Structure 1
Amino acid sequence: MLALYRRYADAILATLPAKRLLALDALRGLTITAMILVNNPGSWSYVYGPLRHADWHGWTVTDLIFPFFIVIVGMSLQLSLQRQSTVSKAVIIKQGALRSLKLIGLGLFLVLFYYNFRDASYNYIEQKLLALRWFGVLQRIGVVYFFSLLIVLYCGVRGRILWLVGLCAVYLAAMLFVPYQDAYGNRFTGLLQFGNSFAAWLDHTVLGANHVYYRSATPFAFDPEGLWSTLPAIASCLSGVLIAQWLQADRSLVQKIRGLLLCGVVAVWLAELWHFSLPINKSLWTPSFVLLSSGYCAIALAACIWLCDVKRWRRWSAPFVVFGANAILFFMFAGIAARLLGMISVGPGSLQSWLFNHLYQPVLGSYNGSLAFALSFLLLSYLLMHWCYKRGYIFKV
């Protein structure tokens, strides 16, 4: 079995260009794999703590997944622009705008791809189309990517650092000092509560309570991928740009790894200290969360480079290369498949609940069964992604 996997892994790795940064491909694949794993349990009632998001302030491993992907977008952006040094800025911006719009469109498609067949009174127009959630994971990636692209095109290293710091500063200034009020005239300032912050007020006011994720939050409905928290999310992407620039510089591999580790450890340490005055919070995407997640991403990348390029232990990365190469297709397939499992009726419930209640839970128990369901979902997804990879079908936006 081990010899078979070695041959398989070698065949996957042999398809990569000689100068391609395997560590980044592996980290991207690990990140999207983790994202799909935590998004598809057998039952949301039975999920182990590390596979859940923090209730509010604080963080779990799951909270790091999305910002990792945002940071990786920044790294990929910088590496891609280096390969397009002869292309005009106008062309790059046009291509970037189109890519951004495609990501936003795909995100909206996933939001709309649902119908409740078990409810005879379900009205798709009123309950889905007219209550469309405008923001989400792919929408945020699209917006963050485009604005990061503009900053990178027109600013040097110093300008990118200033934008990173400035975006966090402007975000924080509004969160702490700009007053706002609810429908009853109650005024608030500087709160970072669930449903009561400047970011929540802005989402509630601009997007409307029916078009965000936390619709029942009070006094303000809000979205964890909402308007104001997009500013520090752009800062996260710019941290990825700076990481890629560090890797592109003329220095030894060992120096690059040491630099990533040093910056990562210092960033995490500062973020944890900052947490006492500015809580680490993913839903608000606080600057302390930017520091923490970017720091851990730098540490994770350093570990991948050390494994792949220093120790030359590369075969472990092959499955993640497959997932990472088609990250958007993987995300779209997982989203559609998960919705279909919830839409298809079996008896009084959905196909997913039937599979969990009749196959996984009786054999493995509630929590292990829910995790096993997610792992099975990953395995079936991998078969499709591997089929696409072998045939050279890479879905790019």
Structure 2
Amino acid sequence: MLSWLWRHCDTILAALPPQRLLALDVLRGLTITAMILVNNPGSWSHVYGPLRHAQWHGWTITDLIFPFFIVIVGMSLQLSLQRQEQLSQALVIRQAVFRSARLFGLGLFLALFYYNFADPAYSYLEQKLLTVRWLGVLQRLALVYFATVLIVLYCGSRGRIAWLIGLCAVYLAAMLYAPYQDSYGNQFRGLWLFGNSFAAWLDHNVLGASHVYYRNATPFAFDPEGLWSSLPAVASCLSGVLLMQWLQSGRNLAQKIRGLLFVGLIAVWLAELWHFSLPINKSLWTPSFVLLSSGYCAIAMAACVWLCDVKRWRRWSAPFLVFGANAILFFMLAGVAARILVMIPVGDTVLKSWLFNRLLQPLLGNLNGSLAFALVFLLLSYLLMHWCYRKGHIFKV
């Protein structure tokens, strides 16, 4: 069995193009794997603490997954634009517009892909179509990607750093000093509360209370992938561009790894200190959260480069290459499968709950059964994604 597994991994690694940056592909694969794992427990009532998001201020390891993906988008973007240097800026922008539109459309498709077959009174028009959530993970990626493309095209290294700092500064200025009021005329300013911040007020009034994730938040419904918090999310993506520039510099590999570790550790340290005055908060995507998540991503990238390119320990990375090579397809298929599991009625429950309650929970208990469900989901996903990888079916957005 072990020898078969090694051969399986060696076959995957042998097919990797020589010019690919293995560490980046591995980090992308690790990130999307973690995202699917935490998104698909057997029961949301039974999840280990580290696999949950922080309730509000603070962070768990799960809170780092999405910003890791955004930083990786920035790193990949820097590589991609360098390969497209011969193209005109107008063509690059046109391609970015189409790619962003497709990402946004895929996000809306997932938001609308649900029907409650168990409820005869369910109205898809009223309960889904007319109350669609406008923003989400893929929609944020679309907006952040397009904004970052424009900044990278028209700005050099100093300009990119200036934009990163400027976006965080503009975000902070509005969050701290912009006055806003609720429907009763109560005035607010400088709050970082659940449902009461400048970002929440903007989402409530622009997107609409019925089109965001936290629809019952008071006094303002808001979205964790909302409008104003997209500004520092662009800063996160720019941090990825800058990290890749460092990796592309003429320094030797050891210097690059030490640089990533140094920057990462300093960023994490500063973020934790800043947390006392500016809370680390994923839903608001605060600048302290940008520092923290980008810092940890730099450390993770340094670890992947050291393992894959210095120590040449690569076999462990093969499954993550399969997931990372088709990250968007993996995210879409996992999202569709997860929704189907809660759409199919089985007796007085749905298929997902039936599988958990009848098979895994009695055998493994609440927490371990819920985690086992997510792991089985990943294993079955791997079989499909490996088939796509072997056949060369790579979904390009």
TM-score of the superposed pair, with normalisation by structure 2: 1.00
Unaligned runs of 5+ residues in structure 2 are none
Q: Deviations over 1:254-306 (max 9, x none)?
A: 00000000000000000000000000000000000000000000000000000
Instruction: Give the counterpart letter for 2:152 in structure 1.
Output: V
Matching of residue 207 in structure 1 with residue 207 in structure 2:
yes
The residue that corresponds to 2:58 in the other structure is 58
Instruction: Give the counterpart letter for 1:14 in structure 2.
Output: A
The residue that corresponds to 1:153 in the other structure is 153
The residue that corresponds to 2:123 in the other structure is 123
Deviation at 1:4, TM superposition (A): 1.4
Q: Distance in 2 between matches of 1:66 and 1:87?
A: 30
Q: Deviations over 1:3-37 (max 9, x none)?
A: 21221111101111112110000000000000000
Instruction: Give the counterpart letter for 1:100 in structure 2.
Output: S
- Is the partner of 1:312 in helix, strand or coil? coil
The residue that corresponds to 2:353 in the other structure is 353
Instruction: Give the counterpart letter for 1:387 in structure 2.
Output: W
Number of residue pairs aligned between Structure 1 and Structure 2: 397
Q: Distance in 1 between matches of 2:265 and 2:146?
A: 29
Q: Deviations over 1:348-370 (max 9, x none)?
A: 11000000000000000000000
Matching of residue 381 in structure 1 with residue 381 in structure 2:
yes
Unaligned runs of 5+ residues in structure 1 are none
Q: Distance in 2 between matches of 1:6 and 1:271?
A: 40
Q: Distance in 2 between matches of 1:244 and 1:5?
A: 32
TM-score of the superposed pair, with normalisation by structure 1: 1.00
Instruction: Give the counterpart letter for 1:267 in structure 2.
Output: A
- Is the partner of 1:329 in helix, strand or coil? helix
The residue that corresponds to 1:317 in the other structure is 317
Q: Distance in 2 between matches of 1:242 and 1:75?
A: 8
The residue that corresponds to 1:179 in the other structure is 179
The residue that corresponds to 1:326 in the other structure is 326
The residue that corresponds to 1:72 in the other structure is 72
The residue that corresponds to 1:281 in the other structure is 281
- Is the partner of 1:196 in helix, strand or coil? coil
Instruction: Give the counterpart letter for 1:43 in structure 2.
Output: S
- Is the partner of 1:375 in helix, strand or coil? helix
Q: Distance in 2 between matches of 1:19 and 1:349?
A: 50
Alignment of 1:1-397 (within 5 A): 1-397=1-397
Instruction: Give the counterpart letter for 1:294 in structure 2.
Output: S
Instruction: Give the counterpart letter for 1:298 in structure 2.
Output: A
Deviation at 1:85, TM superposition (A): 1.1
> Bigger CA drift: 7-16 or 338-347?
7-16
Instruction: Give the counterpart letter for 1:285 in structure 2.
Output: W
Q: Deviations over 1:79-105 (max 9, x none)?
A: 011111111111110001100000000
Q: Deviations over 1:60-97 (max 9, x none)?
A: 00000000000000000000111111111111100011
Q: Distance in 2 between matches of 1:326 and 1:290?
A: 26
- Is the partner of 1:293 in helix, strand or coil? helix
Instruction: Give the counterpart letter for 2:247 in structure 1.
Output: L
Q: Distance in 2 between matches of 1:136 and 1:303?
A: 30
Instruction: Give the counterpart letter for 1:205 in structure 2.
Output: N
- Is the partner of 2:109 in helix, strand or coil? helix
Q: Deviations over 1:302-334 (max 9, x none)?
A: 000000000000111000000000000000000
Q: Distance in 2 between matches of 1:273 and 1:339?
A: 40
- Is the partner of 1:183 in helix, strand or coil? coil
Runs of 4+, deviation exceeding 6 Å: none
Q: Distance in 2 between matches of 1:94 and 1:7?
A: 43
Q: Percent identity?
A: 78
Q: Distance in 2 between matches of 1:268 and 1:243?
A: 15
Deviation at 1:2, TM superposition (A): 2.2
Q: Deviations over 1:367-395 (max 9, x none)?
A: 00000000000000000000000000000
Q: Distance in 1 between matches of 2:121 and 2:177?
A: 46
Q: Distance in 2 between matches of 1:10 and 1:363?
A: 35
Instruction: Give the counterpart letter for 2:186 in structure 1.
Output: N
